[in-house]
Structure 1
Amino acid sequence: MSEIMYVRGDATVPSVKGAKVIAHVCNDLGGWGKGFVLALSRRWPEPEAAYRAWHRDRARNDFALGAVQLVPVAPQVWVANMIGQRGIRTGSKGAPVRYEAIGTALGRLAGEASERGASVHMPRIGCGLAGGKWSRVEPLVTDRLVRRGIAVTVYDHGGGGA
């Protein structure tokens, strides 16, 4: 079985051939404006526009914790908006990260990536503004994606990660 490949670089610029999905975690409030999403928005307008429309029309779609929205941004490149955090602030219920929702979203992403023959590229999802710990997220990535034969690359930008 392969393992997660860790590299230093920008997850919005995967340097591999073939179909690629760039995965990241979004909140369930419709907020887009801090963290990794800023790098996505600098490269492509489509993921933000699709996420905001998905949230706005949530009464008529599957927008909820654990849901995944695949947005095409280039030939053979998609961005996976995964709803994996409740709200945006740490409060009495702890950090916004929801590990169960991330696990569910990664399971759904596995099917989409397999159908497309795509590798998956991501920052340390759920571990920035969502407040999660990579020691809890990494096993979910391994179980839901790597064990299904999907190549996964995790990008540490700049000075490193947790």
Structure 2
Amino acid sequence: MSEITYIRGDATVPSGGGVKVIAHVCNDIGGWGQGFVGAVSHRWPEPEAAYRAWYRDRAVNDFGLGAAQFVQVEPSLWVANMVGQRGIRRGGRGAPVRYEAIDMALERLAGKAADLGASVHMPRIGCGLAGGTWSRVEPLITERLVKQGIRVIVYDQGEGRP
């Protein structure tokens, strides 16, 4: 069985050929602008615009924890906006990350990646501003994507895998 590939670099500049999906975690309150989404918006306006419209029209669509939205930004490149974070503050109620929601969104991502014949590229989703831990997120990625034969590349800004 394959494993997650860890490389040093920028997930908004995915390596390799073929169709690719860049995956990241969003919150469930329509906020966009800090963390990895800033880098996404710097390269393409479409994922932010689509997320904001998805949130705005949430009464008539599937927006919510565990949902995933796929936005094509180049002929062979998509961005997956995955709702896996409740709110944005860490406060007294713990970190905003919701592992169950990330798991559900990854399942949706697996279906899309399989349909496209795509590899999946991401930072350590859910572990930045969402406050999650990689030891809880990595097994979800392995189960939902890697075990389904989907190639996954995780980009670290610093050194490779811990």
Shift, 1:91, TM fit: 2.2
Residue aligning to 2:143: 143
Partner of 1:41: 41
Where structure 1 has 5 or more consecutive residues not aligned to the other structure, the ranges are: none
Aligned match of 2:21? 21
Give 3-state SS (helix, strand or coil) of 2:120's partner. Answer: strand
**Quick one: distance in 2 between partners of 1:62 and 1:110?**
17
Give 1:92 deviation, angstroms.
2.7
Deviates more, 1:89-98 or 1:131-140: 89-98
Alpha-carbon spacing, 1:86–1:115, altered in 2? closer, same or farther (3 Å): same
Counterparts of 1:136 and 1:102 in 2: how far apart (Å)? 10
1:46-77 deviation line (CA, Å, top 9, x unaligned): 00000000000000100000000000000110
Q: Report if aligned partners of 2:66, 2:102 keep a CA contact under 8 Å in 1.
A: yes
CA shift digits 1:99-120 (9 cap, x unpaired): 0000000011000000000000
Can you give the 5+ residue segments of structure 2 that lack an aligned partner in the other structure?
none
Equivalent position of 1:154 in the other structure: 154
The aligned counterpart of 1:107 is 107
TM-score by length of 2: 0.97
Residue of structure 1 equivalent to 2:81: 81
Measure, in 2, the Cα distance between the counterparts of 1:22 and 1:157: 16
TM-score (norm. length: structure 1): 0.97
Task: Map residues 41-60 of structure 1 onto 2, 5 A cutoff.
Answer: 41-60=41-60
Q: Which residue of 2 aligns with 1:123?
A: 123
SS in 2 for 1:31: coil
Give the root-mean-square deviation of aligned CA atoms: 1.1
CA distance in 2, matches of 1:91, 1:49: 28
For 2:147, give the aligned amino acid: R
Q: Is the 8 A contact 2:7 2:160 kept in 1?
A: no
Q: Aligned letter for 1:25?
A: V
Q: What SS does the corresponding residue of 2:21 show, helix, strand or coil?
A: strand
- Distance in 2, matches of 1:161 and 1:3, equals 12
For 1:69 and 1:91, locate their aligned partners in 2 and report how far apart those are by CA, in whole Å.
28
**1:118-154 CA-partner distances (Å, limit 9, x unpaired):** 0000000000000000000000000000000000000
1:64 correspondence with 2:68: no
Count of equivalent residues = 162
Instruction: State the SS of the aligned residue for 2:29.
Output: coil
Give the % identical residues. 75
